[in-house]
Structure 1
Amino acid sequence: MRTRPFSLLICCLLLGSAHRLMSQIIDFGEENSYKQVFKQTDNFGPSYLDTLEVAYAKAPSDSLRLTILNDLSYYWHTRDLIKAYQFTQIGLGEARALDLPQWEGRFQITQGAILLRDEKLDSARIVLGLAMKRVRKEELPMLYAQLGYVAEREGDLARAAEYAMRSLKLGRQLRDVHAQALAYSDLSNLFWKQKKYDKGLEQGLLALNLFESRGLNDLDYDFTLYVVGNNYLALGETSQALKYYSHAIAIGERYGFYNNLSDIYISMADLYAQTNQLAQGEAAALHAIEYSELLHNNFMLMRSWLSLGKLQRLQGKYQSAISSLQKSIEIATADFGDAFFLSDAYQNLGKAYAGNHNYRDAYGAFEKYDELQKEVFTTEAAERMSLIETEFEVADKENTIQLQGIQIRKQRIVQTLGIVVIILLFLYLILIFKSARNNRRNNERLRIQNEEKEFLLKEIHHRVKNNLEIVSSLLALQSEQILDPKLRSAMVKSQQRVHSMSMIHQRLYQGKSLSHIEMKDYFQNLGNHVIHSYGLEERVKLECRMDPVRVDIDHAIPIGLIVNELLSNALKYAFPGERKGRIQVALTQKGGVLHLEVSDDGVGKVISDDALGTGFGTQLIALLTAQLDGEMQLVVDKGTSVSFEFQLSKAA
């Protein structure tokens, strides 16, 4: 009977959450009706694609609808290539129907990214070539990046670097920070593949600085964190690598970047292998396989099985390793293209065969590894990469020279103004000297006034303490005249409560702070006073097992009254007859929460309202707990323990 209202509540919450997400990104009632994802905002969760899917058909203009649809198409390729392709086809159809060639080119860039990840490298290159004739100059850096990825997947790292350099130069011309950051990121990845890890790390960190200057977490920033982690891992700095991988995983899981998550978990498997945490590494490889299958991406799936095979080989599970590595090679197919990872698969397969004493197959695998390595690290490729590095360094130097020229012109302007400024500064210094002299006088006056106010506050606390002591003494005298035991007990308790407050004010005027007191010393003195008032100092001992904690007066007084009540109840009921025992008081602070616990090793009797007489003590504890927005928990087991949690920000 309870499940239906609960299910209805959950549905309402989900709908409310979806509505809030929709309003964060899209509000067709505003002038800026679409805050473009990862360009104007990243304040959303993984359901943003569902929001875009609902919204794009309702867009009030063709341009806005196509913008939303293109973002929807592009970012689906990080989760599901099939759905990404479907939305891209819709976008291409609409762009052609509306005769908008620029939009057709944009969707072709997205289509090229999808075809690339679907292992259709030739088709991706053709589509991106068509897009180049249609898109504006501002969109060419993204197009060059996709062409670079095609070249990289085909094993032509030098040509991939050439495209990255084109994108970097154009990004500088356009002052496009994202384009420059993406180019540095791609160069970092290519240097990593060339085993030039120091250079790769340098470019990767430069890319991260540019990405972070935009203040947005996006797909490319997430990938760059992974690339920087790879370079740190290759340099043997595993703790740094793990830091960047963890950051990348957090972003990938928030936005559903399955492609990046698969990449990261593959590298995490390598990291765990290096640190001999083989079980964790195998789990990471299985995560990579899971994300690759969700993505329907054979390239990622091949690499994921490769990482699993590596871990199994290192664990001595040679037969399982052979099976995983063979599966990796089978997924790669004949036209896989990426000799870098394929060679890695054959190398590990050869080692697994050797570990399994199958030396003939091991020799064949190593022979295939050598062939693929020659494809990747050819003399021509090395020369082209060297030329690109030289070109890159020259471009950086030219950029530095231009910046220096601008700096020299600025220095001349500064020198021209310098003489005038010096004269003005001389006059200004005279004024500053006079002002500083006046400030010193004013500061001295303020210091004296502050000391006088501090003295007055201490005097106020001293007088409040004295007045409370007078009230306490009057209550004590009055209680001596009362014959009724219950009434007399109530008067004694009132006297103790007043005394607990007077002790707070005593510590305020005796201490260094006029707003906070140290509670450990306060509890010790309060407890000894209460025990002495019951005459049980020979039988009951108080322990304050806690570090010093400073608490403001708004919390200290209610907490003191609560502890006073609990000490009185423990002394009255926990140690009947001549029983000896111990009472413990502890107060700790974690963040914005205070945790108080008062416990005894007495008879474990539950104190009821009947036992308390009027029940005023119980009511007082409840009222004070509510005042501090606290929660109380009572445990009776071989004694009595009462614990509280108070919110520091909610004191009355």
Structure 2
Amino acid sequence: MVFFLTAIDRNLYMRRVKIFLLAAMMLTATAVCSQPAKLKNILEGLKGSGQDTTRVNLLIGLGKFYLNKPGEFKSDLDSALLLSGQARQLSQKLNYNAGVGKSLILESQVFSETGNKSKAMATAQNALQFAQGHHLLKETADAYLSIANFYGIENSDLAERIRYTEKAIPLYQQGGFKMEQAGALKSLGDYYHLQADNPKALKLLEESLALYKAVGFKELQGVYDLLGYLYARTGNDVLSLKYGLMAVKTAEQVRDTSMQLCTIYNRLAITYNGLKRYDQAYAYYQKALNVALRYQQTDAVQQIKFNQIILMMGIKRPEQSLATLTEVVQKYPPGDNTRLRITALSLFAKIYMDMKQLPKAKRFVDSLLFYYPDFGKEFGYAPFVNEPIIKYYFLTKAFNKAYPYLKTNDSLARLRHNLTTIATNELNWAKIDSASGKPVSALQHYQEYKSKSDSIKDLDLKKQLSILQFQFDVDNKDRDILLLRQKGQLQQNRLRNETILRNVVIGGLIVVMMFAGLLYSRYNEKNKSNKLLTSKQTQINRQNDELIRLLQEKEWLLKEIHHRVKNNLQIVISLLNTQSAYLDNQDALEAIKNSQHRMQTMSLIHQKLYQSENLSTIDMAVYIRELVEYLSDSFGRNKNVVMEIKVAPLKLDVAQAVPLGLILNEAISNAIKYAFPGEQRGRIDICLEPVADGKYLLCVADNGPGLPENFDPYNTSSLGMSLMLGLSQQLDGDFMLKNNNGLRVCVTFKAMKFNNLENELA
């Protein structure tokens, strides 16, 4: 288990860019919780402010709000940039130098967020020169930190970041800005830990913690967590456990629910794991996992699951480890994450070897051999790559192949002074030398293994004794605190009882005197209120009855109107039918027939309205099916033309249903008449489906020959085409004709809710 802790620690060091960004995300997530209240205060302050320095600071505060707002939206960054410009203009007008410096720093941060690094750096340098020229301590320090953030956290970049941060700290101290000084010290401690200078990092973090406490800052869980992590890396498990527990306690007290809580739980679990307290370790891994799942952080979920699997392997549960690992990689495949992929391969190889299934282990070992040239000598990856390979070659008796990996593992472990890995490697070396017929070398390696193993046992014993003493001290302290609280509570209860008794006697006399006077007054008021309420209730009931009667009359009248409109349309259809009997002109007969179809389209809508309980909307799915059936029957083409209907659930008011029905009538009629001449068979697809932004697409498509290549719908004598264009404009929609294995007639329109229309008319 100690091997795993060392490997993960080094892996974190080698991938410190990711750690730093994750830490920044955690701080942002914690700050976001208070953003709504902060925004409200800023906006209220701006409403009541004049053209003064207070307004400048509020504008800068609002700009920072938009800059740090969750999500990456250009509109937010544009707002932040605009506010910084307004703040600088007002500051220049007021000769408010601090405001100019703050606005320049904000502007630099906005440019950095937009990706314009060169402009951001130039603006930050301008802010620094301006602040230095006007002797502004805080703004100069802020500018140093802003410039520091332009450098990475690798090698020379990290050195520059440290240099600028170290320049800011004495300026904050000189100006008495303790909160800012504490934050800069914390960042600097984090940077030195990335440089592997753990003693200096710990000293800076302790100074930061003391300053935070001095100013009454409560959200110290991040500082405690980092201290615990660094003490674990230096081998001080007592202080690591102490600060880890303090981080958990503080986070729960301030109700921190951000991803920072996941890191805190995970690191405390690692500490318990190293102390061989597996139940507590597994419980905190599970807490960390719950937070990662809530935020859907897949990488964190994978790493925590892998930690739990390594714990299970340590307590000899290979079958359970294999089942869990298989489930994890299926549900959360590592993908392009090399670290997680190598970890998964290493775990599979070790588990199968523990289960004596060497053929299954071989394919995972082969994959690790593929990664060895690039990652076999990297601190963060080497144990995961080398140790399964060494074990596999030993079990398969390929002893000579194991030696290069033994040497690599040994040199890396000694560079890190990792006793556990050194001891494990020496034992493996002794076994391989013994099996290879090298007894002298085997004995030397075994003696080295025993020496390191005894040292580890001594360290483990000291750790356990220290932990027991720490737990004993904590228990005693908690017991003393509990006794003091109980004594204080008893004294408070005694004083409270005496005060209550005195107040009850005095209050009782006053209440008795007041009660008699109030009783009579309340009785009279109650009688008056009852009479008034009875009168009002009677009036309300009468008005309700009248409203119900009027509503029923209105509904009846509306139904009667729709019924009569439908009947009138049917009469017109019948008249047109009678008129067609006296005509011989085929064009006239065709025009009358088209008019009948159009009137039948509108008639169906009114029929639906008076037959339905809802007098305001039309169910388009039912209406379209009935209209298609009518048109199919009218043309007598059921056997030749197949109609396929796909209509999404949608209800429209009459103002949209009528033009939509007329467009359908024209499109389907044209398709039946012109797409399939004679007895030609064909297919017509009618669909009404939702698209983006609350819009719907009505489309009638046939598999006929389509329109001529140069056909222009806006320059034609066709009445049907003109109707479809005009009705599409009435719907405020987009009309489209397209040849695609036939003709597609489409209209895109926005469905208008009846309630909204009713409100607009009111």
2:198 paired residue among 106, 117, 121: 121
**Alpha-carbon distance between aligned partners in 2 of 1:447 and 1:96, rounded to the nearest angstrom:** 79
**Alpha-carbon distance between aligned partners in 1 of 2:704 and 2:483, rounded to the nearest angstrom:** 83
**Alpha-carbon distance between aligned partners in 2 of 1:387 and 1:554, rounded to the nearest angstrom:** 81
Look up the match of 1:522.
Answer: 623
Decide whether aligned partners of structure 1 residues 126 and 284 sit closer, same or farther in structure 2, where only a CA change above 3 A counts.
same
Decide whether aligned partners of structure 1 residues 379 and 610 sit closer, same or farther in structure 2, where only a CA change above 3 A counts.
closer
- Within 5 A, what are the aligned runs for 1:475-494? 475-476=576-577, 485-486=586-587, 488-494=589-595
Q: CA deviation at 1:147?
A: 1.8
**Alpha-carbon distance between aligned partners in 2 of 1:512 and 1:182, rounded to the nearest angstrom:** 56
1:648 paired residue among 751, 756, 762: 751
SS of alignment partner, residue 316 of structure 1: helix
- The amino acid that maps onto 2:604 is M
Q: Is the 8 A contact 1:632 1:642 kept in 2?
A: yes
Name which of structure 1's ranges 133-142 and 523-532 shifts more when overlaid on structure 2: 133-142
- The amino acid that maps onto 2:698 is L
1:616 paired residue among 719, 722, 735: 719
1:531-551 Cα shifts (integer Å, max 9, x gaps): 333344554453434465434
**Alpha-carbon distance between aligned partners in 2 of 1:431 and 1:45, rounded to the nearest angstrom:** 72
Q: Is the 8 A contact 1:516 1:552 kept in 2?
A: yes
1:275 paired residue among 311, 327, 333: 327
Unmatched segments (≥5 aa) in structure 2: 1-72, 92-98, 104-108, 310-323, 351-360, 407-422, 429-448, 758-762
Q: CA deviation at 1:318?
A: 0.9
Q: Is the 8 A contact 1:191 1:199 kept in 2?
A: yes
**Alpha-carbon distance between aligned partners in 1 of 2:485 and 2:260, rounded to the nearest angstrom:** 20
Q: Is the 8 A contact 2:342 2:385 kept in 1?
A: no
**Alpha-carbon distance between aligned partners in 2 of 1:200 and 1:443, rounded to the nearest angstrom:** 67
Is residue 458 of structure 2 the alignment partner of residue 379 of structure 1? no
Q: Is the 8 A contact 2:272 2:281 kept in 1?
A: no
1:22 paired residue among 53, 76, 81: 81
Q: Is the 8 A contact 1:605 1:640 kept in 2?
A: yes
**Alpha-carbon distance between aligned partners in 2 of 1:268 and 1:577, rounded to the nearest angstrom:** 70
**Alpha-carbon distance between aligned partners in 2 of 1:104 and 1:611, rounded to the nearest angstrom:** 72
Look up the match of 1:214.
Answer: none
- The amino acid that maps onto 1:274 is T
Decide whether aligned partners of structure 1 residues 53 and 484 sit closer, same or farther in structure 2, where only a CA change above 3 A counts.
farther
Root-mean-square deviation (CA, aligned residues, Å) is: 5.9
**Alpha-carbon distance between aligned partners in 1 of 2:478 and 2:576, rounded to the nearest angstrom:** 88
- The amino acid that maps onto 1:28 is A
Is residue 227 of structure 2 the alignment partner of residue 147 of structure 1? yes
**Alpha-carbon distance between aligned partners in 2 of 1:24 and 1:471, rounded to the nearest angstrom:** 67
**Alpha-carbon distance between aligned partners in 2 of 1:367 and 1:438, rounded to the nearest angstrom:** 97
1:508 paired residue among 589, 609, 614: 609
Decide whether aligned partners of structure 1 residues 544 and 230 sit closer, same or farther in structure 2, where only a CA change above 3 A counts.
same
Q: CA deviation at 1:526?
A: 1.3
Decide whether aligned partners of structure 1 residues 354 and 145 sit closer, same or farther in structure 2, where only a CA change above 3 A counts.
same
2:215 paired residue among 137, 141, 144: 137
1:526-569 Cα shifts (integer Å, max 9, x gaps): 12322333344554453434465434434422321221111111
1:53-84 Cα shifts (integer Å, max 9, x gaps): 5765549865356457647757977x878656
Look up the match of 1:206.
Answer: none
Q: Is the 8 A contact 2:375 2:385 kept in 1?
A: yes
1:452 paired residue among 553, 569, 575: 553
Is residue 671 of structure 2 the alignment partner of residue 570 of structure 1? yes
Is residue 337 of structure 2 the alignment partner of residue 285 of structure 1? yes
Decide whether aligned partners of structure 1 residues 392 and 590 sit closer, same or farther in structure 2, where only a CA change above 3 A counts.
farther
SS of alignment partner, residue 557 of structure 2: helix
Look up the match of 1:186.
Answer: 264
Q: CA deviation at 1:352?
A: 4.9
- The amino acid that maps onto 1:568 is S
- Within 5 A, what are the aligned runs for 1:105-504? 105-132=182-209, 136-139=214-217, 141=220, 142-166=222-246, 178=256, 186-187=264-265, 189-191=267-269, 194=272, 231=289, 243-244=293-294, 247-248=296-297, 266=303, 273-275=325-327, 277=329, 281-286=333-338, 288=339, 306=343, 309-310=346-347, 316-321=363-368, 324=371, 330-332=377-379, 348=388, 351-353=391-393, 357-358=397-398, 364-365=424-425, 367=427, 378-380=463-465, 383=468, 445-473=546-574, 475-476=576-577, 485-486=586-587, 488-504=589-605
Decide whether aligned partners of structure 1 residues 21 and 617 sit closer, same or farther in structure 2, where only a CA change above 3 A counts.
farther
Is residue 678 of structure 2 the alignment partner of residue 598 of structure 1? no
Q: Is the 8 A contact 1:168 1:179 kept in 2?
A: no
Look up the match of 2:163.
Answer: 89
- The amino acid that maps onto 1:452 is E
**Alpha-carbon distance between aligned partners in 1 of 2:477 and 2:582, rounded to the nearest angstrom:** 98
Is residue 138 of structure 2 the alignment partner of residue 63 of structure 1? yes
Look up the match of 1:10.
Answer: none
Q: CA deviation at 1:648?
A: 2.8
**Alpha-carbon distance between aligned partners in 2 of 1:438 and 1:268, rounded to the nearest angstrom:** 69
**Alpha-carbon distance between aligned partners in 2 of 1:117 and 1:584, rounded to the nearest angstrom:** 65
**Alpha-carbon distance between aligned partners in 2 of 1:54 and 1:450, rounded to the nearest angstrom:** 71
Q: CA deviation at 1:190?
A: 0.7
Q: CA deviation at 1:139?
A: 4.9
Structure label with greater radius of gyration: 2
**Alpha-carbon distance between aligned partners in 2 of 1:94 and 1:264, rounded to the nearest angstrom:** 37
Look up the match of 1:588.
Answer: 689
Q: Is the 8 A contact 1:585 1:597 kept in 2?
A: yes
**Alpha-carbon distance between aligned partners in 2 of 1:184 and 1:525, rounded to the nearest angstrom:** 59
Q: CA deviation at 1:112?
A: 0.8
Q: Percentage identity across aligned positions?
A: 20
SS of alignment partner, residue 576 of structure 1: coil
**Alpha-carbon distance between aligned partners in 2 of 1:81 and 1:231, rounded to the nearest angstrom:** 33
SS of alignment partner, residue 629 of structure 2: helix
**Alpha-carbon distance between aligned partners in 2 of 1:490 and 1:326, rounded to the nearest angstrom:** 83
Decide whether aligned partners of structure 1 residues 532 and 630 sit closer, same or farther in structure 2, where only a CA change above 3 A counts.
same
- The amino acid that maps onto 1:321 is L
Decide whether aligned partners of structure 1 residues 456 and 281 sit closer, same or farther in structure 2, where only a CA change above 3 A counts.
same
1:17-36 Cα shifts (integer Å, max 9, x gaps): 86445348886358999999
**Alpha-carbon distance between aligned partners in 1 of 2:663 and 2:102, rounded to the nearest angstrom:** 53
**Alpha-carbon distance between aligned partners in 2 of 1:376 and 1:624, rounded to the nearest angstrom:** 85
SS of alignment partner, residue 194 of structure 1: helix
- The amino acid that maps onto 2:733 is D
Q: CA deviation at 1:453?
A: 3.1
Q: Is the 8 A contact 1:541 1:581 kept in 2?
A: yes
- The amino acid that maps onto 1:614 is S
**Alpha-carbon distance between aligned partners in 1 of 2:216 and 2:123, rounded to the nearest angstrom:** 26
**Alpha-carbon distance between aligned partners in 2 of 1:70 and 1:182, rounded to the nearest angstrom:** 23
Decide whether aligned partners of structure 1 residues 538 and 485 sit closer, same or farther in structure 2, where only a CA change above 3 A counts.
same
**Alpha-carbon distance between aligned partners in 2 of 1:543 and 1:463, rounded to the nearest angstrom:** 33
Q: TM-score, normalised by structure 1?
A: 0.64
Q: CA deviation at 1:449?
A: 3.9
- The amino acid that maps onto 2:297 is A
Q: Is the 8 A contact 1:265 1:285 kept in 2?
A: no
Q: Is the 8 A contact 2:733 2:750 kept in 1?
A: yes
